[in-house]
Amino acid sequence: MARSITVLNLGKISYRAAWQVQRSLLQAHRNDSKNEKSFLSEQHPGDVLIICEHEPVYTVGIREREYSQDEERLKALGADFVRTDRGGLITFHGPGQLVGYPVINLKNYSLGLRKYVSSLEKVLIKTCEMFGLQGKTTKDTGVWIDERKIAAIGISCKRYITQHGVSLNCDNDLSWFDHVIPCGIKGKGVTSLSQELGRKVSLQETEPLFLNSFCDVFGCTLAADEKLAENIFLKADFIS
Amino acid sequence: MNKLLSEMRFTEEHEWVRQEGSTPHVTVGITDYAQDSLGDIVFVELPEVGSQVVEKDSIGAIESVKAVSDVYCPASGTVTEVNTELESTPEVVNTSPLEDGWLFKMELADVSSLDTLLTEKEYKDYLHGLE
């Protein structure tokens, strides 16, 4: 029987607020009485896939010592800069880029971390295929169209519950990537669905295809949960 | 190898603990199952030597293929040594998870806390249940 995952569309939301939502969902997953209950615990949200869009922000993973010199320089460009606990090096999120954060219990899918990451790559490749694009994976994690990176992946896992996720360039301004070596991979460029197809491909057009691909790869069904979304927007004091 | 395993205790977070004789000194690492499911390890974050650690707290992290997984403390005590080799060769955790890929050593606050951890057989049964 297919597992059900709740889709939570947070719209345009700051990176920090979206991360806080993930942490609240993570806490709600834990039945460990030692942990503080999150404001979402009463609702038993189960597995959730967050879809959203961010204002310009550069984020780094746990190997962040390499970027200690970059913070001020990047903030001066008008972006936020956040140090996170995910894997992967530096990346950029901004308007026009689809961001997906699955907060799921890997035990429900019998997936180890490596297989989970590869499943996310498959979701992104399937989404690109729906636009007639041939995405591929290489030894560098992420999804590529030839030598151009179209989607990035960086996640963390705490006692089987996942955090962070993927980003897929739809019609975002790619010049923000000029200021960094994306994901630490030198000599390779970035691209977007719009750039590859020579027409505007919006986040709104991409989202249903991404969700379909996610269902296919993870063997799940997706359903919205109005009450959960309401709860978050009404009760979360970290969302302005 | 069998002798090695039977002297060890395990956690549900796929850590192993090896006691030195019957002293409160132990070595901690992650199991073969863990390193296999993580993939190629590129970075290991270890606790500070001298830090007081509490059972079940997250005290380190392992990064592999864009994914970070927490390392949990198997028992309360004090960290006495960390495997500094892993800074330059984190992949040793993949190739030798039970020996050269050890993560840190600690002095247990209470030696009897080892009894609450899984035996080799219990860990194998646990793995079986995960499939």
Residue B18's domain is classified under what CATH number? Answer: 2.40.50.100
Number of cross-chain residue pairs from A and B with Cβ atoms under 8 Å apart: 71
pLDDT at A31: 57
Kindly report the nearest CA distance between residue B19 and chain A, in angstroms. 25
% of chain B surpassing 90 pLDDT: 88
User: For residue B124, is it within any domain?
Assistant: no
User: For residue B122, is it within any domain?
Assistant: no
What's the one-letter identity of residue A30? R
Arithmetic mean of pLDDT, A84-94 = 94
Whether the predicted pLDDT of A87 surpasses 80: yes
pTM for the complete prediction? Answer: 0.90
* Residue in B61, B66, B70 nearest the CB of A153: B66
User: For residue B128, is it within any domain?
Assistant: no
Q: Which domain holds residue B53?
A: 3-108
**Residue A200: band (very low, low, confident or very high) from pLDDT cuts 50, 70, 90:** very high
**Residue A141: band (very low, low, confident or very high) from pLDDT cuts 50, 70, 90:** confident
B35-67: per-residue pLDDT in tens?
Answer: 998 999 999 999 999 999 999 999 999 999 789
The answer to whether A167 touches A183, Cβ cutoff 8 Å, is no
User: For residue B71, is it within any domain?
Assistant: yes
* Residue in B38, B43, B61 nearest the CB of A114: B38
pLDDT at B4: 57
Residues B93, A94: Cα–Cα separation, whole Å:
36
Number of folded domains in chain B? 1
User: For residue B84, is it within any domain?
Assistant: yes
Predicted-complex ipTM score: 0.84
For B35, other C-beta atoms within 10 Å of its C-beta total 24
User: For residue B63, is it within any domain?
Assistant: yes
Task: Report DSSP state, residue B65.
Answer: T
Arithmetic mean of pLDDT, B105-118 = 95
What are the C-alpha distances in Å from B19 to residues A27, B25, B57, B72? 33, 6, 20, 17
User: For residue B8, is it within any domain?
Assistant: yes
Arithmetic mean of pLDDT, B104-126 = 95
| Pairing between β-strand A220-224 and β-strand A3-12 as defined by DSSP bridges | parallel
Residues A74, A91: Cα–Cα separation, whole Å:
12
User: For residue B37, is it within any domain?
Assistant: yes
